[in-house]
Amino acid sequence: MTFPRPNDASAPPERPPAQGEAFPPDGSLVLEPEKLRGRVEVPASKSDAHRLLIAAALADGPCEVAVRTTNEDIEATVSCLRALGATIGRTEEGFRVSPVAEPAPAPLLDCGESGSTLRFLLPVAAALGCNARFAGRGRLPDRPLADLVSALARHGVSFSSDRLPFALSGRLAGGEFVLPGNVSSQYVTGLLFALPLLPEGGTIRLASPLESAGYVEMTLRVLRRFSVGVVRGEGTFSVPAGSRCRSPGKVAAEGDWSAAANWFAANRLGSGIEIAGLARDSAQGDRAVEKVLEEMRAGSAIDAHDIPDTVPALAVAAAGVAGTVEIRNIARLRLKESDRIATTVALLRALGGQADEYPDKIVVHGTGRLRGGTADAAGDHRLAMAAAIASTICSSPVRILGAGAVAKSYPAFFGEFRRLAAR
C-alpha cells in the first residue's frame, strides 16, 4: 500500500533559519581533538514541545507555544497537527496554535522518523474519527507499535495494515485500555491525549510496570496546564467524562536534558562548559544524567532503565574512565533510530576504544583516551553527537559519517560545538 505525498496544505511548514548548522554536502565532518570551553544554552525539549503542541491543538481556544528551537521531529508533529486541521503559525518565540475545529477528512499524517509523533497522534486521530492515514520513513515502520494498535482495535478502530503505512477507520470508544508498561511510555501518553476527546472518558490500566515513568509525568504536567485532571491509581490513569483541554493562553517548552547529556559528558571528559536553559525541577528522566556522570567511576554499574536516550553519551564518558563501566537495562535501544547497543559499541571500537555488546547492556573497558579515526553515526542523531564528544579525548582527528543526523533533535549541535572549540 502506498499513499501520495501531502499537498501544500498538509506539507511540513517551511523550516526556520539554520541554527548553527555546519554540514558539508556528504554529511561528514572532521573534528580536531580539543576540549570545549564556553557557555551553551540547550535547545527546547522536543519531548515537552510535542506534548505542548498537541495539547494546544486539542484545546478550546488559541495558544502561544514558546519553543526557542526546533528540529525535524518537532516539525513532523507540527505538520501532522496541521494535517488534522489545526492552524499553526510561526511567532518570534515559537508557534501560535489555533485548535482543530473540524478534523480534516482522511488526512495524511507523515511522521517522518519521529516515534513520538506517531505514537502520540495515533490515538488522537482515532478519537477524532477522521479516518487518518499514517506514514513514516527510516526505521520508524519497524519500531514497536503492536500493543497500541491492538488496544485501539479493541475499542472500535480498524487498521488497513499491521505496519506503516496504514489507514484508520472507525472512531475510538472509551472504556478501559490495557497496555504493557514495559514497551513504550509513549503508548500511555498518546492515550492520555486521546481520552479527553471521548465523551465517556476512559481508563488506562498497565499490565506491567511502567518504564520511563518520567515521560508520563511530563504528559500529566502538560495536561494539568491545560486543565485536564488525570486520576492516578495503582497502575491506572483515568480521565473523567466531560474533560477537555482548555487553553492557558501561553506555555513554554523546557530545555532538553537529553541534549544536555552530551555537554555533561564532555565536562566529565575534561571540558569546561557552562550549560544553561535547564529546569532543575523538570520531570524529564534524563535529568538524572548529571548525577550519573558525576558518580561514574571504574567498576560503576549504571542502570539506564529510565535514561535510555543518554546511553551513547554515557558510553563515551565511560571510555574516559580508567577501568570498566557497565551500562545495563537497555534492551529497548535496539529499536531506536539504529540498533543503539550495537552502533554505540561499534563507534567506540572504531575510535580505538574497548567495549563489549550484550543483549541488555554495554560494558566499556575505558583507558582514559581514544585513538580517533572514522565513526559512522548510522543515521542516528545521538550517535553523531556522541562521536563529537568522543573527539575531545582522541589523539587524532575524528571523521563522523552522517553527522547531519543531528537535525532530528539538535540541528545547532555542530554549530555550538565549533563555537565551543578553540579551533
Q: In sequence order, what are the beta bridge partners of 250?
A: 64
Q: Phi/psi zone of residue 131: left (φ > 0), alpha (ψ -120 to 50 degrees), beta?
A: left
Instruction: Reply yes or no: is the peptide bond before residue 13 cis, omega within 30 of 0.
Output: no
Nearest to 73 by CA among 339, 332, 407: 407
User: From CA 76, how far away is CA 62, in angstroms rounded?
Assistant: 20
Q: Active site includes 309?
A: yes
Residues 6+ apart with CB under 8 A from 231: 237, 238, 239, 240
Residues written for the chain: 423
CA distances 160 to 1, 153, 169, Å, are: 9, 11, 8
User: From CA 44, how far away is CA 77, in angstroms rounded?
Assistant: 14
Nearest to 47 by CA among 136, 115, 138, 128: 115
Q: What is the DSSP string of 189-253?
A: HHHHHHGGGSTT-EEEEESSPPSSHHHHHHHHHHHHHTTPPPEEETTEEEE-TT------SEEEP
- φ and ψ at 383, to 5 degrees? -70, -40
User: From CA 322, how far away is CA 154, in angstroms rounded?
Assistant: 53
| 313's grid cell | 553519551
The active-site residue out of 48, 110, 309, 380 is 309
Contact in structure between 367 and 319 (CB atoms under 8 Å): yes
User: From CA 419, how far away is CA 38, in angstroms rounded?
Assistant: 8
**Catalytic residue numbers, as ranges:** 309
